[in-house]
Amino acid sequence: MKLTLKEIAHKIDGKVIGDETLEIFGVSSFYDAKKGEITFASDPKFLKALGRTCAGAVIVPDDFDIVPKESVNDKDNSALGFDEKIILPLSLIKTQNPKRKFFRILSFFHPSKKPNQTIAKDSVIGNNFIHGYNLTIGHHVTIGDSVKIGDNVEIMHGVYIGDEVVIGNNTLIKPNTTIMDRTQIGSRVIINSGTVIGSDGFGFTQDSLDIKDASGGGGVNEKIPHAGFVQIDDDVEVGACNTIDRGTFGRTWIQKGVKTDNLVHIAHNVIVGEHSLIVAQVGIAGSTVIGKRVILAGQAGISGHLKIGDGAIVGPAAGVLNDVESGQIVSGVPAMPHKLWLKVASILSKLPEMRKKLIALEKNINLKKINM
Amino acid sequence: MKLTLKEIAHKIDGKVIGDETLEIFGVSSFYDAKKGEITFASDPKFLKALGRTCAGAVIVPDDFDIVPKESVNDKDNSALGFDEKIILPLSLIKTQNPKRKFFRILSFFHPSKKPNQTIAKDSVIGNNFIHGYNLTIGHHVTIGDSVKIGDNVEIMHGVYIGDEVVIGNNTLIKPNTTIMDRTQIGSRVIINSGTVIGSDGFGFTQDSLDIKDASGGGGVNEKIPHAGFVQIDDDVEVGACNTIDRGTFGRTWIQKGVKTDNLVHIAHNVIVGEHSLIVAQVGIAGSTVIGKRVILAGQAGISGHLKIGDGAIVGPAAGVLNDVESGQIVSGVPAMPHKLWLKVASILSKLPEMRKKLIALEKNINLKKINM
Amino acid sequence: MKLTLKEIAHKIDGKVIGDETLEIFGVSSFYDAKKGEITFASDPKFLKALGRTCAGAVIVPDDFDIVPKESVNDKDNSALGFDEKIILPLSLIKTQNPKRKFFRILSFFHPSKKPNQTIAKDSVIGNNFIHGYNLTIGHHVTIGDSVKIGDNVEIMHGVYIGDEVVIGNNTLIKPNTTIMDRTQIGSRVIINSGTVIGSDGFGFTQDSLDIKDASGGGGVNEKIPHAGFVQIDDDVEVGACNTIDRGTFGRTWIQKGVKTDNLVHIAHNVIVGEHSLIVAQVGIAGSTVIGKRVILAGQAGISGHLKIGDGAIVGPAAGVLNDVESGQIVSGVPAMPHKLWLKVASILSKLPEMRKKLIALEKNINLKKINM
């Protein structure tokens, strides 16, 4: 597989600065790229280091004002703020948003494998199955009754799909995933392996009466039946080994464009707003509402029944016990405004010194008292 | 499916206040309920808002002293502390513990699907298999040798059950769960999907000698064989994607009535006492003993070889490094008494201000010194 | 199964002190062991308590200077620092590294089950499959195209192995594991159940342009294709329900001898150096490099693009936001030198008292000001 720079430029609405006939055989990162490969540079840090990549070509921003090849050894170069070592044996493609365009070229060189559009004979499918064109079902899959699936869907090895599940078009369910009954999944959704969707929420009723009873043998935590379901809207990607519980009644709702990383826990009746990003090992307790375009950084924990406003950012490992306003950035345990947390965090390590000073001051003052 | 209020009252030992012939077609939450649905109100917050639900009927506490329908527009109403808007077009059922009774009615309208009591032909079962009545085994299940299973057990799609596993009556193993050899599971247990029970503990021997050897190629961390097993007693529910390691020798023991949420880690030789609740993403390190009726809130971490007393509560994301006495409530990292943590937590955000004051005081005193 | 002490001593290069003909029927822990069982004591705590185990024999260090049986009631005994109750009805085996030797004996009494060296008929294997001697493939396994597997490999129930995966010799893949395409796994590796290797990393491109577009319906987070893979070297053990993402390009690399506990998350392009130990629920963000023989304690979180030096130790639940030097021990959130963290942690609970003092001092000084 190869492309000339001209062909690449055409694919990404770019303009070649250099050799249009250069042949590119692959993509790589800035410092790993070799002669026949293309990479990208979108921020000054990399743009200034253009002379240090061994790539054959680099995708750069539209407005990048490079010194023309011919004058590269001129003193003007450093005047432009570039690394003095830039002696560009490489070609450039100027375009908008180089990073995104680069990933398009990456997709060209590493196309995702086309599903085989067959239904494995060892898969088991229930009654009243309705499905669209180009369905792929892998081996050892079980699909329940009254399931409805759209076009171009791929369901990989070992997946379980319960009764009355609905799946849209172009959705991919990776191996060994569990989708419990009545889950609703939109189009262009990806569910990564090991994930469980529609498990029962962690809900139990407990009362003093029963605790007395229990000494006689009864259980004290009676399971609350979970009559709700999970709804996952279009363009969502759910990471590996996530657990998304069904609603007690009503739905747990992952809205359009949300992306979750691995080992994320989303409890019953949570709503995650459009295009929010949930990083690895985050936990969200029951009935909390996450707004749109929110970012929850890794290992953050969000208590139940809270409201996290649109565009809010929660820092890594933060412990959120109260509502967060739209656009706010919070960090720490308990979560506080991020700027405040930065100060607090920097003072934490000075606490021993502060304590010493405080004790010294106290003595000092007491001494004075005595002296007076 | 429908029930009259009279029929519902009969099912939950209640007394109808209002129209006994009213037909109920489903259940819902307080504010989502519609005319043909029933909901419940167990605390003053909801009882005062009875006029605001659109439910046809509400289950309320036995001792709830409602103004009779006829006098609802009297001034007495507000005197009783109710919302002035209460104009009860709804009927009530008075009973003990409305929440729990409500969930019984919920179970009636949303009965769990009856297992089909068949053994899928594509499941594989080892030698010396002993089982009781009404066994259901789903598709693509593997069961090892010398497994013993009680009555009314359901094992769903893709489950692996190792050799010499024992399972009691009325237990449900959800899809894609892994139960390694020699695990013992009681009656009325539910294991949610993706969970792994009986994995080897994280135990390795390491010694200086071997570290030297290793430079010559050997491994430095030699695996400790795990000869123990996991025992799960009656009425336990294990959440999705839990990992419960087997004992090094002896057992890891989850006692009667324990409930774990999702993504919980329980290490080798841990004991979790009866009726304890372990919320999502908690981790318990090796050989720790958790007492009875303990609550470990979400993301808490408990170090190894500790003892958490009966009835103790560990707050969310707390880091427990020492034993916790019975009945104590601890929070924070490192864990401390909860009330103290609340104070500490509130002071954390004042640290920058405290530091400024301290520095100012110091200067002040030094100035005085100079002045004196 | 039984062994005489003489036979055991022979197996572990030890010397019997006591009855060489004693028959041992099993192993157990120090305080649980019974008459026919052997245990070990490697540190003074247990060596001093030798009189308190009921074991028939104890493996002790080479240089352990025990009072001979005959003189055990002499006063010399306490002079040697032993528990006065030592009246050794037990025999000893002296050897180097008793703990490790003990586990060898444990392995003898609890041998791991020998794989049956058959390929289950219901497993599905793709084209161009190459494999060595003694291959065991369990039920309901799917193996993709162009997979290459060495000798003595066991792949258990429900495992998915994608295209072009390579696996060395003597490797064990436990049930319900997912190994995505192009993963490379070495020899003597163990992958525990529920683990996902080679999932796509959490990488999305986002730009302001698209956010504007999105209001018109487009997705704001465009998926970055993941063209890389995961490489797992020899002698690695991966715990249950781990998620190890593939590189964006290039590899995510788990080097020789690394051991991970359960529910660990390792993001794209992370490198974990040789013989490092990663305890349960740790998360490592993208492109971070962990050195050799590092220990990451439970629930620790490591930010992306960091370097953790060789031999460093990160404490439980620590939040590492910066590089850690080789050999350093860090703890806390944010992570700081462990000794400093110990001080800080001990002061945290004194903050309320410190604050009171500070306010009192302030008043005191202000009063003085007024008085002056």
List per-block mean pLDDT (blocks of 10 residues) for chain C, which spans 372 residues.
Answer: 95 94 93 92 90 93 68 44 54 93 91 91 98 98 98 98 98 98 98 97 67 42 88 98 94 97 98 98 98 98 97 97 98 96 96 93 75 56
Do A331 and A313 contact (CB within 8 A), yes or no? no
Of the given ranges (A37-51, A62-76, A312-326), which has the lowest mean pLDDT? A62-76
Q: Check CB contact of B132 with chain C, cutoff 8 Å.
A: no
Q: Say which residues have a Cβ less than 8 Å from residue A170's Cβ, sequence separation at least 6.
A: A150, A151, A152, A153, A187, A188
Nearest to B22 by CA among B98, B93, B125, B111: B93
Residues of chain B found within 8 Å of residue A356, distances taken between Cβ atoms: none
| 3-state secondary structure (DSSP) of residue C355 | helix
Q: What is the pLDDT of residue C209?
A: 40
Q: Check CB contact of B237 with chain A, cutoff 8 Å.
A: yes
Cβ atoms < 10 Å from Cβ of A101 = 22
Is there a contact between A343 and B361 if contact means CB atoms under 8 Å apart?
no
Evaluate if residue A213 carries a pLDDT over 50: no
* Model pLDDT for residues B127-170, shown as the tens digit of each residue: 999 999 999 999 999 999 999 999 999 999 999 999 999 999 99
Residues of chain B found within 8 Å of residue C190, distances taken between Cβ atoms: 200, 223
* Model pLDDT for residues A130-182, shown as the tens digit of each residue: 999 999 999 999 999 999 999 999 999 999 999 999 999 999 999 999 999 99
Q: Among A283, A336, A357, whose Cβ lies nearest the Cβ of B299? A: A283
| 3-state secondary structure (DSSP) of residue C158 | coil
**Whole-number Å distance between alpha carbons of B162 and B182:** 7
- For chain A positions 138-157, those within 8 Å of chain B (CB to CB) are 140, 142
What are the distances in angstroms from CA A246 to CA A184, A226, A251, B103, B316?
Answer: 11, 7, 6, 16, 22
pLDDT tens track, chain B, 372 positions: 899 999 999 999 999 999 999 999 999 989 889 999 999 998 888 998 888 899 999 999 998 875 544 444 444 444 344 444 444 678 999 999 999 899 999 989 988 888 999 999 999 999 999 999 999 999 999 999 999 999 999 999 999 999 999 999 999 999 999 999 999 999 999 999 999 999 999 988 765 444 333 333 334 788 888 889 999 999 999 999 999 999 998 899 999 999 999 999 999 999 999 999 999 999 999 999 999 999 999 999 999 999 999 999 999 999 999 999 999 999 999 999 999 999 999 999 999 999 999 999 888 877 666 555
Residues of chain A found within 8 Å of residue B354, distances taken between Cβ atoms: 354
Nearest to B236 by CA among B288, B194, B271, B287: B271
| 3-state secondary structure (DSSP) of residue B27 | strand
Q: Which residues pair with A307 in a beta bridge?
A: A289
β-strands B37-40, B142-143: how paired? unpaired
Q: Closest residue of B to C96, CA-based? A: B209
β-strands B336-337, B329-331: how paired? antiparallel
Evaluate if residue A71 carries a pLDDT over 70: no
CA quadruple A177, C229, A116, A172: dihedral positive or negative? positive
Q: Check CB contact of A194 with chain C, cutoff 8 Å.
A: yes
Q: What is the pLDDT of residue B88?
A: 61
Q: What is the pLDDT of residue B130?
A: 98
Q: Check CB contact of A237 with chain B, cutoff 8 Å.
A: no
Cβ atoms < 10 Å from Cβ of B296 = 28
Q: Closest residue of B to C363, CA-based? A: B361
Nearest to A6 by CA among A19, A18, A20: A20
Question: Tokens standing for B12?
Answer: 């939950």
Q: Closest residue of C to A100, CA-based? A: C205
Do B331 and B315 contact (CB within 8 A), yes or no? yes
User: φ, ψ for residue B175 (rounded to 5)?
Assistant: -60, 150
Q: What is the pLDDT of residue A214?
A: 36
Residues of chain B found within 8 Å of residue A322, distances taken between Cβ atoms: none
Q: Closest residue of B to C350, CA-based? A: B344
What ipTM goes with this model?
A: 0.88
Q: Check CB contact of C372 with chain A, cutoff 8 Å.
A: no
User: What single-letter amino acid sits at A62?
Assistant: D
Do C177 and C262 contact (CB within 8 A), yes or no? no
Which H, E and C letters describe chain A, residue by residue? CCEEHHHHHHHCCCEEECCCCCEECEECCCCCCCCCEEEECCCHHHHCCHHHCCCCEEEEECCCCCCCHHHCCCCHHHHCCCCCCCCCCCEEEEECCHHHHHHHHHHHHCCCCCCCCCECCCCEECCCCEECCCCEECCCCEECCCCEECCCCEECCCCEECCCCEECCCCEECCCCEECCCCEECCCCEECCCCEEEECCCCEECCHHHHHHHCCCCCCCEECCCCCEEEECCCCEECCCCEEECCCCCEEEECCCCEECCCCEECCCCEECCCCEECCCCEECCCCEECCCCEECCCCEECCCCEECCCCEECCCCEECCCECCCCEEECCCCEEHHHHHHHHHHHCCHHHHHHHHHHHHHHHHHHHHHC
pLDDT band at A80 (very low <50, low <70, confident <90, very high): very low
**Whole-number Å distance between alpha carbons of B171 and B163:** 18
Do A219 and B259 contact (CB within 8 A), yes or no? no
H helix intervals, chain C: 5-11, 44-47, 76-79, 98-109, 208-215, 338-348, 351-371
Q: What is the pLDDT of residue C216?
A: 35
Nearest to A89 by CA among A46, A35, A132, A126: A35
In angstroms, the separation between the Cα of residue B277 and the nearest Cα of chain C is 19
**Whole-number Å distance between alpha carbons of A96 and A103:** 13
Q: What is the pLDDT of residue C155?
A: 98
**Whole-number Å distance between alpha carbons of B282 and B302:** 8
* Model pLDDT for residues B52-98, shown as the tens digit of each residue: 899 999 999 998 875 544 444 444 444 344 444 444 678 999 999 99
Do A72 and A62 contact (CB within 8 A), yes or no? no
Q: What is the pLDDT of residue C250?
A: 87
| 3-state secondary structure (DSSP) of residue C108 | helix
**Whole-number Å distance between alpha carbons of C239 and C231:** 16
Q: Pick the residue of C29, C95, C262 with the most B CBs within 10 A to test the interface with B by mutation.
A: C262
Q: Check CB contact of A280 with chain B, cutoff 8 Å.
A: no
Do C314 and C297 contact (CB within 8 A), yes or no? yes
User: What single-letter amino acid sits at B61?
Assistant: P
pLDDT band at A234 (very low <50, low <70, confident <90, very high): very high
* Model pLDDT for residues A344-371, shown as the tens digit of each residue: 999 999 999 999 999 998 888 776 665 5
**Whole-number Å distance between alpha carbons of C43 and B243:** 31
Q: Which residues of B are catalytic?
A: 268
Q: Check CB contact of C319 with chain B, cutoff 8 Å.
A: no
